[in-house]
């Protein structure tokens, strides 16, 4: 695929890529945008090469996931070594961005809060299947997992998500 | 995936509809700023490694040269023959004087052992008296 064709494909998948980058960055918009820019640069400069073993979308999502992990590690190191170490504060747990949460509707907010309780792998598999309309096989490719492992994360994640959503639903009923 | 998953699918779809308009516009770098990526040849890498090694060696040499003690002007430089190892005192074991001389019983003078007296000259053809058994 030539440079122009690659750029067109990236543009076509841009919205979906942003959604996936948001999930990989715990719904922090700034981080997601940065990760997406770095990913595009990697792809367009040839530092990440598409080998054709999977679909372009699956491959691109894999690159975004790895880039987000790299950025997260860098940020963590910075926090751990300098700020947190000096202040003696604990590393913040996974939680969706409060700003993003505030702008979401009640249903979406419940979903985001329930997703935050799941493990990262479960959250990623569910997002890829339900949000990005990928199959479990494709999700396994994006996450570099065995198909069996991805299926296990998918089933357990669904069960856990339903449980959390039911809990939040009953809580909101009580409040009314 | 089962038909029962439709509830989850709907929830995620609602979230997607909400997040999609928030996506930033797709902007790629202008073509003028894009440089073609050339793979680095092993020769270039070797040259770079050799250059870095040379810089490191030069730095190390300069560092050791600056730390080397320089003789003060007008002060005589000590000869290597005058040098005594700092561990020389370990060789002075207790009782070394006793071992250096042969002790003579009853010849203790001023707390130290007197030197052995000079040996008396031997008699020529000494007569050895042999005992004769009966």
Interchain CB contact of B66 with A (< 8 Å): no
Instruction: State the Cα–Cα distance between residues A148 and A82, nearest whole angstrom.
Output: 40
pLDDT in tens, A31-42: 899 999 999 999
User: Looking at chain A, which runs of residues are DSSP E strands?
Assistant: none
Instruction: State the Cα–Cα distance between residues B97 and B131, nearest whole angstrom.
Output: 44
ipTM passes above 0.90 = no
User: How far A101 CA sits from the closest chain B CA (Å)?
Assistant: 11
pLDDT in tens, A67-98: 999 998 888 887 777 766 566 555 555 566 66
Q: Is B45 exposed, middle or buried (0-12, 13-18, 19+ CB in 10 A)?
A: exposed
The answer to whether A33 contacts B24, with C-beta atoms less than 8 Å apart, is yes
Interchain CB contact of B6 with A (< 8 Å): no
Count CB neighbours of A81 within 10 A.
Answer: 10
What sign for the dihedral angle of Cα B24, B26, B32, B35? positive
The answer to whether A18 contacts B37, with C-beta atoms less than 8 Å apart, is no
Percent of chain A past pLDDT 90, that is, above it, reads 42
Report chain B residues whose CB lies below 8 A from the CB of A111.
11-12, 14-15
Report chain B residues whose CB lies below 8 A from the CB of A136.
1
**pLDDT winner (highest mean) among A148-152, B69-73, B96-100, B124-128:** A148-152
CB within 8 Å of chain B, chain A residues 2-61: 7, 10-11, 14-15, 18-19, 22, 29, 33, 36, 40-41, 44-47
The answer to whether A111 contacts B12, with C-beta atoms less than 8 Å apart, is yes
Interchain CB contact of B18 with A (< 8 Å): yes
pTM metric for this prediction: 0.58
Average pLDDT over residues A25-31: 88
**Smallest CA–CA distance from B13 into chain A, residue:** A131
CA-based nearest residue to A36, from A44, A108, B21 = A44
Residue B82 pLDDT: 84
For every residue of chain B, DSSP letters joined together read --GGGHHHHHHHHHHHHHHGGGSPP-----GGG-----PPPHHHHHHHHHHHHHHHHHHHHHHHHHHSPPPPTTSPPPPGGG---TTGGGG--TTHHHHHS---TT-EETTEEPPPPPPPPPPSS--PPPPPP-
Interface test with B, best of A34, A130, A158 (most B CBs within 10 A): A130
Grade residue A125 by pLDDT with cuts at 50, 70 and 90.
very high
Average pLDDT over residues B52-62: 93
Interchain CB contact of B3 with A (< 8 Å): no
The answer to whether B12 contacts A130, with C-beta atoms less than 8 Å apart, is yes
Instruction: State the Cα–Cα distance between residues A90 and A117, nearest whole angstrom.
Output: 19
């Amino acid at each position: 695929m030539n440079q122009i064709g690659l750029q067109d494909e990236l543009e076509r998948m841009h919205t979906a890529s942003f959604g996936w980058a948001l999930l990989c960055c715990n719904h922090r918009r700034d981080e997601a945008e940065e990760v997406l820019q770095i990913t595009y640069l990697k792809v367009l400069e040839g530092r990440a090469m598409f080998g054709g073993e999977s679909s372009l979308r699956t491959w691109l999502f894999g690159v975004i996931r790895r880039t987000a992990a790299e950025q997260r590690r860098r940020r963590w190191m910075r926090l751990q070594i300098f700020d947190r170490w000096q202040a003696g504060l604990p590393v913040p747990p996974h939680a969706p961005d409060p700003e993003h949460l505030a702008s979401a509707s009640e249903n979406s907010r419940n979903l985001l809060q329930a997703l935050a309780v799941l493990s990262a792998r479960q959250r990623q598999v569910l997002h890829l299947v339900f949000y990005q309309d990928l199959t479990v096989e494709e999700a396994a490719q994006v996450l570099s997992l065995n198909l069996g492992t991805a299926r296990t994360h998918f089933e357990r994640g669904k069960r856990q998500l339903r449980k959390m959503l039911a809990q939040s639903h009953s809580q909101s009923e009580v409040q009314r | 995936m089962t038909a029962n998953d439709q509830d989850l699918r709907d929830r995620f779809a609602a979230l997607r509809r909400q997040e999609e308009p928030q996506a930033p516009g797709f902007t790629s770098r202008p073509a003028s700023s894009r440089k073609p990526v050339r793979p680095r040849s092993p020769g270039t890498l070797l040259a770079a490694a050799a250059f870095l090694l040379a810089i490191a060696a030069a730095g190390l040499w300069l560092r050791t040269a600056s730390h080397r003690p320089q003789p003060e002007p007008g002060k005589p430089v000590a000869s290597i023959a005058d040098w005594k190892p700092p561990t020389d005192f370990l060789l002075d074991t207790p009782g070394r004087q006793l071992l250096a001389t042969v002790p003579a019983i009853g010849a203790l003078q001023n707390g130290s052992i007197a030197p052995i007296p000079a040996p008396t000259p031997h008699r020529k053809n000494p007569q050895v008296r042999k005992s004769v058994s009966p």
